[in-house]
Amino acid sequence: PSVINQIAAGEVVERPASVVKELLENAIDAGADRIEIAVERGGKDLIRVVDNGKGIAPDDLPLAFRPHATSKLREADDLQRIATLGFRGEALAAIAEISKVCCESRTAEAETGFRLRIDGGRAGAVEPCSCPVGTIMEVRHLFFNTPVRRTFLKSDATEAGHVAEMVTRLALAHPSVHFTSRSSGKVVFDLPATTCLTDRIAALFGRELADQLIGVEHDVPGVGLRGFVSHPSHSRSSSKFQYLFLNGRYVRDRSLQHALAEAYRGLLMVGRYPVAFLNLEVPLDQVDVNVHPTKIEVRFREAHLIYSALYSAIKQAFLKTDL
């Protein structure tokens, strides 16, 4: 394993939560509706993701860990490529370069599962094993061969917090998936599948917060907006209950947050923030996402259209309440 590979891997993998993100996105791409996450020591010692998705055929197992060997590029054109969550085909290769991975997977057709271990980028042999249909990914000892990177990690509790935040974002984007998340054996989340976003919000943040939300639904040419915001009287003292999604992907975008704040201008006291769970649907050719492996920033071609749509969507939602 070359130093260059390890540096490249560090670009994708910043901390345990980055691994969790990639593994969860793969599980969702594989069509799983049941995903279990378990971490030990904030993910530093172990990250395990178990899914009931379509699994990986034995011949494809080694390929999945080779750089740029995404199965999602082969058949897809550019647009579909971005529509699935993964599109770089480098995540698993990067993760396997800087950790000890054990993958067990079984497709519906296969009579047994198959296991592959990769240790710091060195793949072993594919061997049969018994496992249910779906995939079990175990990532142990992240950054074991890049000790300097390991020293940049924060405390176990802080890293576990980042993992929980990552699970929260994906769980909000995919309420129809049942997520269970454990940290050092303790259940952090058990989120049953639901078709109702407010049920998922309630499971994550409590019924009280969920019951205070106002529905947002707004369509103008080029932008669709759906989700929930809080009444100004139910604002919070921090912006941590603001979850914005673009075409189903979590984004943290300054100008979108600014547009949100503008909609509440004059309605909130200083230091108060609205609660928001909003998904923007924007045509894929109008937006650049994921300009960098770990970044979640977006660039809109017609930014003013997006901001004014967000602004009027929220104003309209207020009109329907007794504001």
Binding region for ligand ADP (CB under 6 A)? 22, 26-27, 30, 51, 53-56, 64, 70-72, 86-93, 135
203: contact with Mg ion by CB under 5 A: no
Q: What is the DSSP string of 202-269?
A: HHHH-HHHHHTEEEEEEEETTEEEEEEEE-GGG-BSSGGGEEEEETTEEE--HHHHHHHHHHTTTTS-
42: contact with Mg ion by CB under 5 A: no
162 close to 47: Cβ distance less than 8 angstroms = no
Beta carbon of residue 96, minimum distance to Mg ion (angstroms, whole number)? 13
143 close to 98: Cβ distance less than 8 angstroms = yes
53: contact with Mg ion by CB under 5 A: no
Non-local (6+) Cβ contacts of 122 within 8 A are: 1
Q: What angle do CA 115, 117, 120 make, to 5 degrees?
A: 165
Beta carbon of residue 26, minimum distance to Mg ion (angstroms, whole number)? 4
Beta carbon of residue 27, minimum distance to ligand ADP (angstroms, whole number)? 5
Instruction: Select from 27, 50, 91, 225 the one that contacts Mg ion (CB under 5 A).
Output: 91
153: contact with Mg ion by CB under 5 A: no
Angle formed by the axes of helices 303-320 and 254-263, to 10°? 30
Q: Rank residues 54 and 200 by Cβ distance to ligand ADP and give the closer one.
A: 54
139: contact with Mg ion by CB under 5 A: no
86: contact with Mg ion by CB under 5 A: yes
Question: What is the total residue count of the chain?
Answer: 323
Q: Rank residues 73 and 261 by Cβ distance to ligand ADP and give the closer one.
A: 73
Beta carbon of residue 40, minimum distance to ligand ADP (angstroms, whole number)? 20
Site for Mg ion in 20-39 (CB under 5 A): 26
Q: Rank residues 95 and 313 by Cβ distance to Mg ion and give the closer one.
A: 95
82: contact with Mg ion by CB under 5 A: no
Q: What angle do CA 139, 121, 27 make, to 5 degrees?
A: 40
Choose the contact partner of 230 out of ligand ADP, Mg ion, none; CB within 5 to 8 A by kind: none
Non-local (6+) Cβ contacts of 163 within 8 A are: 16, 17, 20, 37, 39, 42, 43, 47, 181, 183
> How far are the Cα atoms of 32, 101, 139, 298 from residue 52, in angstroms, in the given order?
5, 19, 18, 31
Choose the contact partner of 135 out of ligand ADP, Mg ion, none; CB within 5 to 8 A by kind: ligand ADP
The region of 79-87, 99-107, 135-143, 211-219 touching Mg ion under the rule CB under 5 A is: 79-87
Beta carbon of residue 55, minimum distance to ligand ADP (angstroms, whole number)? 6
By beta carbon distance, the residue nearest Mg ion is: 86
By beta carbon distance, the residue nearest ligand ADP is: 86
Beta carbon of residue 123, minimum distance to ligand ADP (angstroms, whole number)? 13
Bridge partner residues of 50 (DSSP): 36, 136
Number of residues counted as binding Mg ion (CB under 5 A): 3
Q: Rank residues 26 and 242 by Cβ distance to ligand ADP and give the closer one.
A: 26
284 close to 299: Cβ distance less than 8 angstroms = no
Beta carbon of residue 140, minimum distance to ligand ADP (angstroms, whole number)? 17
Beta carbon of residue 32, minimum distance to Mg ion (angstroms, whole number)? 13
Bridge partner residues of 189 (DSSP): 181
The residue behind tokens 């989120």 is 191
Please report, as ranges, the residues that interact with Mg ion according to CB under 5 A. Answer: 26, 86, 91
